[in-house]
Amino acid sequence: MTEETRATRYTVISHREPVESLLEIKRSEFIGHVKRVESEAEARQYIESLRKVYHNARHVCSAFVIGADREIQRSSDDGEPAGTAGIPMLQALLSRRTHHSEGTEATDLSDICAVVVRYFGGIKLGAGGLVRAYTDAVVQVLDEAPLVTRQRLRLGEIIISHADAGRFENDLRSHGFTVIGTDYLSAHAVVRIGVADEDQNKEKANEQVAALSAGSATVTWTTTEWV
């Protein structure tokens, strides 16, 4: 995934394994699931897989958000009264506040599919009760899901002599650079770095590389990569 987006970072579940949580309300069971997904097709495949697992459940409601800019948003009430399940689940995903390492908060959770399976307990909850139940089921399972920030890096290449490559690579790391690797070519070495894809970071990196190399090296900026 290397396409340019408005967002340069967003939050995802830190692994690809599904997370599950049970919420009981007036004898009805609401089994919440969330899973990291990379595409709409993968999200729908996950939903269908849970339909097969819970083939005897009354409802299998779902919502998913995909993309750095959260451009793909879908939801389904799966037979519940319109607007009482899928949309509240989707809003729970969209409004989830996440924390970044520098202490800031954002509502940037994405690449996630939520599924709530309901087993009816015989007591009707009403429209308001259903909205709260499906919202709470998603919130509860999200509380158990480990989250991590996905950052878009701007990649750069620095030409350096073979003799200086090792020391230079260590200097870059000590100054906070992400060093992706070093390629040793016949005439020189190429140190590959990544910085958060924002203009001020590129400018700062240019200045630091010039200082660390006593003006002998420059950065050639190339493509981007999500990490």
Indicate which CATH number applies to the domain containing 130.
Answer: 3.30.230.30
Cβ-based burial of 34 (10 A; exposed 0-12, middle 13-18, buried ≥19): buried
Mean pLDDT of all residues in 187-202? 92
Q: How many domains does the chain have?
A: 2
* 96 within a domain of the structure (yes/no): yes
* Chain Cα centroid distance, residue 12: 2
Same domain? For 20 and 101 the reply is yes
* SS3 of the chain: CCCCCCCCEEEEECCCCCEEEEEEECCEEEEEEEEECCCHHHHHHHHHHHHHHCCCCCEEEEEEEECCCCCEEEEECCCCCCCCCHHHHHHHHHCCCEECCCCCEECCECCEEEEEEEECCCCCCHHHHHHHHHHHHHHHHHHCCCEEEEEEEEEEEEEECHHHHHHHHHHHHHCCCEEEEEEECCCCEEEEEEEECCHHHHHHHHHHHHHHCCCCCCEEEEEEEEC
Nearest CA-CA partner of 168 in 211, 125, 134, 108: 211
| Domain housing 192 | 152-226
Same domain? For 15 and 90 the reply is yes
Same domain? For 103 and 15 the reply is yes
Residue 80 has pLDDT above 70, yes or no: yes
Same domain? For 134 and 208 the reply is no
Q: Which residues touch 66 (CB under 8 Å, ≥6 apart)?
A: 37, 38, 39, 40, 43, 72, 73, 110, 111, 112
How far apart, in whole angstroms, are the C-alpha atoms of residue 202 and residue 198?
7
Residue 208 has pLDDT above 50, yes or no: yes
Residue 2 has pLDDT above 60, yes or no: no
* Chain Cα centroid distance, residue 130: 28
* Chain Cα centroid distance, residue 113: 11
Same domain? For 188 and 120 the reply is no
Q: Taking the model in full, what pTM does it have?
A: 0.86
* 2 within a domain of the structure (yes/no): no
* 4 within a domain of the structure (yes/no): no
How far apart, in whole angstroms, are the C-alpha atoms of residue 134 and residue 61?
9
Same domain? For 95 and 196 the reply is no
3 confidence band (pLDDT: 50, 70, 90): low
pLDDT at 103: 80
Residue 186 has pLDDT above 90, yes or no: yes
